[in-house]
Structure 1
Amino acid sequence: MARGEEEVSQNERKLPLGDSPELRAALAEANVPTLLMSYVHLTHDAAMLDAFQNYIRPPYSMPPTEIPGECIEDLRAKLLEALTVPGIAKATPPSDELMRRMMAVGVGEEVADEFVPLLYDQIGLKLPLPRNEIAGRQTPPADFKVLVIGAGLTGLCAGIKLAEAGYDYVTIEKNPEVGGTWYENRYPGVGVDTPSHFYSYSFEISPEWSTYHPHGEDMQNYLLHVADKYELRRNIRFNTMVTKLAFDEAASLWRVTVRKADGSEEVISANAVINAHGPVNRWKFPDIPGLEDFQGPMMHTATWDPSIDLKGKRVAVIGTGASAAQLVPAIADEVGQLTVFMRSRHWVIYNPEIMDDVTDGVKYALRHIPFYREWFRFRVYWFAADGLFANVLVDPNWPKDSPSVSAVNDGVRQYALAHLNHKFADRPDLLAQLTPDYPIFCKRIILDGGWFDALKKDNVALETDRIERFVPNGIRMADGRELEYDVIICATGFDVANMLGKLEVRGRDGRNLRDEWGADDPRSYLGVTLPGYPNYFLTVGPNSAPNHAAGQNLISETQINYIIECLDHLVEKGARTIEPTQGAFEAWNGQIEERMKSMIWAHPKAQSYYRNSKGRVFLSWPYRLVDYWTATRKPELADYRVD
């Protein structure tokens, strides 16, 4: 049977396992619904689903339920037997019908049929057949060259899949190592909002995470492992930056100007370009006068200087977004006095797992219990992704003057408020300062990994008045106060709307993408392609970001799949260029604009980096992840011009 047609897993299926203290500890510590999935997957014992289906519910469901202890012990005993006694585990995979029932019972709610192909793909249970093994697929010509910009999460995925598909490619990376944002961001406390066991490639699921939400170093180590395993560095040119792309119409090639570490330039020719330089590597300082006046160290979180000693110092942190919420708890006990300057309030969600370590028993289960790794990823995906979509969809019948946009959205708002009120019951001053006046999910939510506790420390102050300017010894406020600091840290985010950065892109007929997009108004077709720019592919492009949920890794994978589908069609037809038609581009953007009217990000009080200076939501994908995954299986050829 071909690899893509059979059930595969990244666990090694070595059964039986020996009955050991490590295995018994794993059964005692591992997630019970995931153990249930592993057991049924191995044995096809559907009766065990009947025993559990009335007790497994989604998180925060009311009233809460508890799985009876006798059911749990029965499951552990039967799974132990299936793992250690030969002949109990089935040699064949469960039927699709049983798999769908397992999915529904495993998360305590219906899993619609439309999700099943995505779930098989993203949880690693049915990996697609590698392109170079597809019968009848035309092999790319040896002289067909692809250039990838960036060796971060998306660029590395591009390299893996291009190589798998038989394309000759080169990746241009401005840094001396892979990792992108996880190479660059090294400030204390840096981490990932997305749960560890989902924030990875579906084809390279790791059991080695040390926490349920990865620290920045964990994420970088994962990407280093990927680069090593897939031998990606041999195709990467480090310490090199792409400065200009110019399409040569006569040759149907992109002429790519790169700047080397010594400042010299070189022009590389490529049939296609994949821009994977990402939106979160163009960090920005605050728009406050006097940046050059301050005489002490000033740094951005994205350019952290570990040589600067913070111990006992007077430190100012400007910003209260995700970076500040990670940084402040990490340095609060080290500094002498810390002031956090807040321009806008953020909703904060308490997730009890964010500070938890993954125990040795759970790691054993992930490494050795067949199918546990995949089913655990399924569960994490389900509750961190499209299950949250209802929160960002505006109910047209919901009261317009409400601080929420739907019943579901209001429920999450009440959950966040309860945590806020609990944390600051003894600090009404901070409670008033920190309570947002806009619906939750309007902009990025902060996960509380010690943020609220840090703001209550005796040596930490929250400042909400306006900054007038930087001065040599610190900060002057609009009310005339001058506050003295030894170090100023700017946790002020990135210039996301400027999706080109400093890159110059010229397409057909001398078209200039910067002229078309302006400073902050990028548009595309499906977040990937552009009319007038043949064989030029975006990743994390306009209106493709999963701003309702976790899932950038999923978006990266599905965009790379779509791009290679476009290239394969080009090769199959013996054509030289592919680009969307102007009509398809306009129709898609019109659809997005209309849909955005019903999304929370267009709310009058939604001021976030998802919107540009004119208020247009340029970043967010206004549908579910499953919709984007489905739309990017292959191009709608009627929407494309192929020459």
Structure 2
Amino acid sequence: MGSVGTRFPTPAVSITKHPATLPRSPIDDDIDKERVAAAVLPQLLDLTAADLTDNAIWRDSLALTGTFRTFFSRELVANTWRHLCKKSTIQELSITAGSAQILRFGPEACWLQASFSFRTQGTFPSVCSGTLGLVPHGYSWKIWLITTILEQPLGFPDVDKLEPGPADTDHPGCLDCIVIGAGLAGLDLAGRLKSMGLSYMVLEKSVEVGDVWSKNRYDSVKMHTSRDYNQLPGLPKTFTKEDYPYYLGSEDLARGFKSYVKTFGINVTTSTRVDAATYDAASKTWTISAEREGTALQMSARHLVLATGSMGTRPVTPSYMNHGKYQGHAMHSICWKNAKPWKGKRGVVIGSANSAHDIIADMVSEGFTSVTLVQRSKTWVLPASTFGALVDPVFNPDTPSEVSDRILLGNPLPIQRLIAMEGIRACADKIPEYFERLEAQGFKTERYGDLWGILCDREGGHFFDVGSGELIAEGKVKVKSNALPLAYTESGLSFEDGTELDADVIVFATGYKGDMKENAKRILGEEVGENLEEFWQCDQEGEIRGAWRDTGHPALWYTGHGYAHARYYSRFLAMRIKADVEGRPIPQWSGSC
């Protein structure tokens, strides 16, 4: 099957442990920002530690390292930058006109930021972009932040340019890439592969594209992030303001996925279950064994990508005593479809994150006589107004998704975490009454959430309030948060404080286990899968493990997570696959200076 590196899996390190900090030097608004940036930019041609702040940080996205790396501290950034610049021969540095601006977050965090472009002339000549973050130091300026991003290898198509067109009908015997899964991540990557002129096929087990949303989830499920945050790559945008709501529901997502496949001619084979895949190192080829409507299929490809769902499909359900006593219906949210069968009954939902709130809203709308949310721990709540204030200026109908993605995801992740925390705190402080109304009903809120800490470390457990919080604040949904469930009774649940709660239906909105690596084991075999990288959580540099980067196998990749992540990072994965197919793989630097 080929070589699997013994360094995998990489140990997980909480992003909250990263030592990155934001600069807090005051900057006057009326300075000539572009002049300052243009004066500092040439320092990158011969960078020294003296040019940098003590807390300097640099994130490279394939431009100089060929992978995703984040370097922190004055000496490490300077030494690594000089080393890699010699290898890549940076030239044609230029500040992007009109990009220089002063960024302020919270009462103190502040820096001057400007975008720039450059080219590399090393072993893999490319067009690249970057940003500089500058802070004043006496009468001069020092570099606090550098980001560098691979935009387009010379001679390659533009990975961000996908236009409407027909599907490919002429497939070679051995494809460049096979993608397993036609959900959001699989379609994102498929669009990128098509833009690069690669031969590919997406294999989807469902009968139709979009079934994972419209048929395999509860009816009231909806995205708790905005329509424009959740776009797929390519123009025209799939989810338009005219045709889709701000919060996309399951039917909206299914309709959008189908439209995307038709509009951009994405190659998808549905009703296809992948059973196994083996790799021949000599020919550098995957052989994929599948079944479609009872017929065995065999396909071959140079690269294999798992887009099988990274957020988990294995439900986590707490176990309580005396389950056999209960005369009602108990289920995990994965089995919940809608509240109609229990109209006029009593409902209990255990859990306090997004799914739980979708389900309590469904119960209320169907006229349940009582709805109770069992909250087991304090929950971070992000009101819709906060999300809108922080995200809508970046993700909106007028801004191309590729521009928005670089603003959100081009930064070092530890820095993006700190920026988000500052913004969330500022917004929360403006609406104390919102949290007070929830807390008055017994819902325990965390006002100042660590969004990126949650996303990178846990992948869930938070509540983006898109309306159901008002049901709690008004008392239409009761909250039980002072004791944990202990056992079932004939009519419901008993709790540690001696109280009981009656319910005709109990729904466990208690999350899932991530299963990307488990899917890899099922397809590739236990021995191979066990040595692969894990999917998600951060390494010691603050970079995500496994996703869109080395998995431990030279031709196997993971893609997944949320819409913005899958959309943005798929561009880099497509370029890596293209480079390998062209016979000149992007060289990776895994060293340290």
TM class by smaller structure: 0.5 to 0.7
CA distance in 2 between counterparts of 1:442 and 1:351 reads: 19
Which residue does 1:315 correspond to in 2?
Answer: 347
Paired position in structure 1 for 2:58 = none
Which amino acid in structure 1 is aligned with residue 193 of structure 2?
L
CA distance in 1, matches of 2:202, 2:508: 31
Higher relative contact order (CA 8 A, sep 6+): 2
Query: Offset at 1:173?
Result: 1.1
Deviations 1:110-144 (Å, cap 9, x if unpaired)? Answer: 6521599589999xxx9658699xxxxxx997633
Aligned Cα root-mean-square deviation (Å): 4.8
Relative to 1, partners in 2 of residues 1:301 and 1:152: Cα closer, same or farther, differing over 3 Å? same
The answer to whether residue 232 in structure 2 is matched with residue 212 in structure 1 is: no
Which letter maps to 2:529?
L
Distance apart, 1:489 and its partner CA: 1.8
Note the residue ranges of structure 2 that are not aligned, 5 or more in a row: 1-92, 106-110, 118-127, 132-148, 152-156, 164-169, 390-395, 455-459
Whether contact under 8 Å (1:150, 1:275) holds in the other structure is yes
Structure 2 vs 1, CA of residues 176 and 555 (structure 1 numbering), >3 Å: closer, same or farther? same
Give the structure 2 partner of residue 413 of structure 1: 425
Whether contact under 8 Å (1:325, 1:451) holds in the other structure is yes
Q: State the number of aligned residues.
A: 435
SS in 1 for 2:349: strand
Question: What residue in structure 2 maps to residue 361 of structure 1?
Answer: none
Q: Specify the SS of the correspondent of 1:375.
A: coil
Aligned partner of 2:472 in structure 1 is: 455
Q: Give the aligned residue type for 2:468.
A: W
Q: Distance in 2 between matches of 1:200 and 1:495?
A: 26
Corresponding residue for 1:253?
A: 285
Which residue number in structure 1 is paired with residue 204 of structure 2? 173
Q: For residue 421 of structure 1, report the CA deviation from its aligned partner.
A: 3.8
1:295 positional shift: 4.4
1 CA distance for matches of 2:174 and 2:535? Answer: 36
State the secondary structure of the residue aligned to 2:186: helix
Give 1:492 shift. 1.9
Paired with 1:437 and 1:373, the residues of 2 have a C-alpha distance of 29
Question: How far apart are 1:225 and its partner, in Å?
Answer: 1.0
Distance 1:291 1:256, change over 3 A: farther
Q: 1:374 aligns with which of 392, 395, 398?
A: 398
Alignment partner, residue 371 of structure 2: 338
Give the structure 2 partner of residue 155 of structure 1.
186
Structure 1 residues 453 and 303: alpha-carbon distance in aligned structure 2, compared to 1, 3 A threshold: same
Aligned to 1:229: 263
Structure 1 alignment gaps of length 5 or more? 1-95, 133-138, 357-371, 395-405, 546-551, 579-634
Aligned to 2:556: 536
Q: Which amino acid aligns with 2:581?
A: V
Q: Which residue of 1 aligns with 2:51?
A: none
The answer to whether the Cα contact below 8 Å between 1:240 and 1:259 also exists between their aligned partners in 2 is: yes
Instruction: State whether residues 497 and 521 of structure 1, in contact with CA within 8 Å, keep that contact through their aligned partners in structure 2.
Output: no
Q: Which amino acid is 2:507 matched to?
A: I
Within-5 A mapping of 1:331-480:
331-333=363-365, 334-352=367-385, 373-375=397-399, 393=417, 409=421, 412-413=424-425, 415-416=427-428, 419=431, 421-425=433-437, 428=440, 430=442, 433-435=444-446, 442-443=453-454, 445-464=462-481, 465-471=483-489, 473-480=491-498
Q: Distance in 2 between matches of 1:118 and 1:553?
A: 23
Instruction: Describe the SS at the equivalent of 1:352.
Output: helix
| Residue 270 (structure 1) shift | 2.8
What is the deviation of 1:476?
Answer: 3.1
**Matched-pair contact (CA < 8 Å) for 1:286–1:490:** yes
- When residues 384 and 299 of structure 1 are mapped into structure 2, their CA distance, relative to the original with a 3 A threshold, is farther
CA distance in 2, matches of 1:330, 1:383: 35
SS in 1 for 2:286: strand
**Matched residues in 2 for 1:285 and 1:346: separation?**
18
The reply on whether 1:496 has 2:514 as its aligned counterpart is yes
How far apart in 1 are the matches of 2:306 and 2:374? 35
Instruction: Answer whether contact 1:106 1:379 (CA < 8 A) is retained.
Output: no
Q: 1:468 to 1:386 in 2, by over 3 A?
A: farther
What is the alpha-carbon distance in structure 2 between the residues aligned to residue 512 and residue 190 of structure 1? 36
Query: 1:272 offset after TM fit, Å?
Result: 1.6
Structure 2 Cα separation of the partners of residues 158 and 388 of structure 1: 23
1:24-77 deviation per Cα after TM superposition (whole angstroms, max 9, x unaligned): xxxxxxxxxxxxxxxxxxxxxxxxxxxxxxxxxxxxxxxxxxxxxxxxxxxxxx
**Letter aligned with residue 491 of structure 1:** A
Aligned to 1:113: 115
Do 2:386 and 2:427's aligned partners in 1 also have CA atoms closer than 8 Å? no
2:52 is matched with: none
Partner SS for 1:287? coil
Q: What are the Cα deviations for residues 337-357 of structure 1, in whole angstroms up to 9, with x where unaligned?
A: 11111122222122339899x
Deviations 1:477-497 (A, max 9, x none): 234544321112222222126
Q: How many angstroms apart in 1 are the aligned matches of 2:573 and 2:449?
A: 38
Secondary structure, aligned partner of 1:113: strand
Q: Supply the AA of the counterpart residue of 2:559.
A: T
Change (3 A) 1:306 1:502: farther
Q: How far off is 1:213 after superposition?
A: 3.3
After superposition, the C-alpha distances for 1:200-226 in whole angstroms (9 at most, x for unaligned) are 134232433543333333233221210
| CA 163–474 in structure 1, closer or farther in 2 if over 3 Å, else same | same
| Deviation of the 1:512 alpha carbon | 2.0
Distance 1:104 1:437 in 2: 27
* Aligned residue identity for 1:270: A
The offset of 1:454, in angstroms, is 1.2
Quick check: 2:274–2:523 contact (8 Å CA) kept in 1?
A: no
Partner of 2:22: none
Q: Say if 1:476 and 1:392 are closer, same or farther in 2 by CA, change over 3 A.
A: farther
Residue aligned with 1:286, SS: coil
Cα distance per residue 1:182-202 (max 9 Å; x no partner): 345643542223321232134
Larger helix fraction of residues: 1
Identity across matched positions, percent: 18
State how far apart, in whole Å, the 1-side matches of 2:302 and 2:351 are.
43
1:512 equivalent in structure 2: 528
Residue in structure 2 matched with residue 324 of structure 1 by the alignment: 356
Cα distance, 1:180–1:513 mapped onto 2, change above 3 Å: farther
Equivalent position amino acid for 2:445 in 1: L
> Given residue 570 of structure 1, which amino acid in structure 2 is its aligned partner?
D
Could you tell me how far apart the structure 2 residues matched to 1:215 and 1:159 are? 23
